[in-house]
Amino acid sequence: MRDHEHRGAIREEVHARPVVMVPEPARLRRLVFLPGPGDPGVGAIQAMLASWCGRMGLDVPEPHVRQHSFARRGTEGCSVTFEFHNEFVTLTWSSSPGEAEAFPKDIGLELVADLPLVAAVVIDLLAEAALPAAALSHFNPASLCHVGIEGGAAQIATDLVEDGDGFVRFFLAGRNLTPLRRSIIARRLLEVETYSKLTLLGLPPVRAAGGELTALEAEISQILARLPEIDEVGEAQDAIKGLNGLAQRVAVVNDRLNYRVAASQAYGQIVSDRLRVLHDEATGNGSNISAYVDNRVGPALRTLAATEKRLLNAGRRIERAAMMLNARNGLELEMQNSTILKTISRTARSQYRLQRTVEGLSVIAITYYLVGILGYALSGPIHALGWDKEWVMAAVTPLALVAVFVASRFLWRGHKE
């Protein structure tokens, strides 16, 4: 049997991002970087990581690996994990509980330090069955989310507000969870914060383009309002040129926003999926995380969808207006062509009648000259026979006229064929 060319890639994708076991208690941090146009791409960062691991004496990741973990030096049981996605990179590391250093120097941070930072999150995993009041005191009561998960076996708290180091903090009390389940829950929390921020990345450019899109819609409406007043072909052509310019501007805005909007919608779906499997229930001491995040991410996604619909409708309005103007121009051209054809037809009929008149006159003229020639040719025989020349010519003239007419008709038929 012959393997499909992508079977290996599919097999690796299934296990591309295994769950990293997290000790308890511990502090888990993550940074999310989104390379810009002038920054090294994800592939370049993967190559940089492989080179760095080689210099540090660590296991070197395989080319195109999607996730690579290694142990932190001098810290038993704590690990560092790089994850490589289509357009962003995450750096996640664990440390001892209460470690104050937010950006340690032994985790490869220098590889991504110059990249734009999108999100930062820290999770404190407590060896408790429920969160103590001291943990909840770290959060703003107005935005506190305190929930129970796994049927009340564990608790999570956050206010989704950045601390002094720029990290959004979570507390997870999961003593009653298995190590694997606790690690999975921690990963889900990291993903909720990561993809929430990536989802909201589409909102600023959409808001910035709002005024431009409104102006485009107003110009389209002005042209549509002028359509009934356009009577001349020149005015219609000017309107079509204006519509073509608007179509190009709409295409530029759409091209600028399309990728970011599509990415945000995809990330928003991932956030919804992660929140759905979290099954968080409010404890009565604050909101639940899924409702709080949805209340912030949901309106942004609806704004993106509305902008996408506005761009689509603008393009359709321009297309309809152009079709109407083209149809009007086509109708006017057909009417002009019809008038021209009628004029040509009248001219042809006039020329035909003139031609027939000329042909008739030509028959008379030819007969006149033919009778004259016959008069000279027959004058001798007529004189010898003693006939009256005038009566002879009177008899010859009708015959000559008939002969010329028949000959001209014969020639006309030959030219027609």
Query: Could you tell me if 332 and 229 lie in one domain?
Result: yes
Q: What is the average pLDDT score of the chain?
A: 86
Asked if the model's pLDDT at residue 42 lies above 90, the reply is yes
Q: What is the CA radius of gyration of the chain?
A: 46
Q: Which of 288, 315, 340 is the last residue of a domain?
A: 340
Closest CA to 302 of 254, 258, 264: 264
Closest CA to 31 of 113, 100, 120, 108: 120
Domain-embedded: residue 277? yes
Residues 6+ apart with CB under 8 A from 27: 94, 95, 96, 97, 98, 99, 122, 123, 124, 125
Domain-embedded: residue 265? yes
Query: Could you tell me if 106 and 225 lie in one domain?
Result: no
Asked if the model's pLDDT at residue 160 lies above 70, the reply is yes
Distance CA 149, CA 110 (A): 36
* 143-153: average pLDDT: 92
Q: Percent of the chain at pLDDT above 70?
A: 91
Predicted pLDDT at 158: 94
Q: Which residues on neighbouring strands pair with residue 68, listed in sequence order?
A: 82
Predicted pLDDT at 9: 79
Task: Decide which of 359 and 367 is more confident.
Answer: 367
Predicted pLDDT at 118: 96
Predicted pLDDT at 75: 65
Q: Which residues on neighbouring strands pair with residue 417, listed in sequence order?
A: none
The angle formed by the CA atoms of residues 308, 313 and 314, to the nearest 5 degrees, is: 100
Distance CA 202, CA 186 (A): 26
pLDDT digits (tens, 9 = 90+) for 305-330: 999 999 999 999 888 887 777 766 66
Predicted pLDDT at 388: 72
pLDDT digits (tens, 9 = 90+) for 360-409: 667 777 777 777 777 767 777 776 777 777 777 777 788 777 777 777 77
Q: Of the segments 65-74, 167-176, 336-345, which one has the largest average pLDDT value?
A: 167-176
Q: Is residue 13 classed exposed, middle or buried when 0-12, 13-18 and 19+ CB atoms within 10 A define those classes? A: exposed
Domain-embedded: residue 159? yes
pTM of the model: 0.77
Query: Could you tell me if 18 and 50 lie in one domain?
Result: yes
Asked if the model's pLDDT at residue 352 lies above 80, the reply is no
Closest CA to 168 of 156, 180, 177: 156
Could you tell me if 154 and 185 are in contact, meaning their C-beta atoms sit under 8 angstroms apart?
Answer: yes
Where are the extended beta strands (E) located within 24-167?
26-33, 67-71, 79-84, 89-95, 117-126, 145-149, 154-162
Asked if the model's pLDDT at residue 223 lies above 80, the reply is yes
Query: Could you tell me if 335 and 366 lie in one domain?
Result: no
Asked if the model's pLDDT at residue 120 lies above 90, the reply is yes
Asked if the model's pLDDT at residue 93 lies above 90, the reply is yes
Domain-embedded: residue 7? no
Query: Could you tell me if 39 and 153 lie in one domain?
Result: yes
pLDDT band per the 50, 70, 90 thresholds, residue 117: very high
Domain that holds residue 399: 350-416
Helix count and strand count (H, E) for the chain: 9, 9
Domain count, the chain: 3
Query: Could you tell me if 244 and 364 lie in one domain?
Result: no
pLDDT digits (tens, 9 = 90+) for 50-80: 999 999 989 899 888 899 999 887 666 688 9
Query: Could you tell me if 21 and 159 lie in one domain?
Result: yes
* 42-49: average pLDDT: 93
Domain-embedded: residue 153? yes
Predicted pLDDT at 305: 94
Q: Which residues on neighbouring strands pair with residue 71, listed in sequence order?
A: 79
Distance CA 127, CA 330 (A): 79
Amino acid at 15: H
Query: Could you tell me if 152 and 298 lie in one domain?
Result: no
Listing DSSP states for 193-227 in one string gives HHHHHHHHTTHHHHHHTHHHHHHHHHHHHHHHHHG
Query: Could you tell me if 328 and 214 lie in one domain?
Result: yes
Predicted pLDDT at 7: 83
Predicted pLDDT at 329: 65
Query: Could you tell me if 30 and 165 lie in one domain?
Result: yes
Query: Could you tell me if 356 and 335 lie in one domain?
Result: no
> For 4, which DSSP code?
-
Asked if the model's pLDDT at residue 44 lies above 80, the reply is yes
Rounded-to-5 percentages of helix, strand, coil across the chain: 60, 15, 25
Query: Could you tell me if 235 and 333 lie in one domain?
Result: yes
pLDDT band per the 50, 70, 90 thresholds, residue 243: confident
Phi-psi region of 332 (alpha: psi -120 to 50; beta: other; left: phi over 0): alpha
> For 287, which DSSP code?
B
- 346-351 contacts: CB < 8 A, separation 24 or more? none
Residues 6+ apart with CB under 8 A from 247: 315, 318, 319, 322
Q: Of the segments 186-195, 277-286, 358-367, which one has the largest average pLDDT value?
A: 186-195
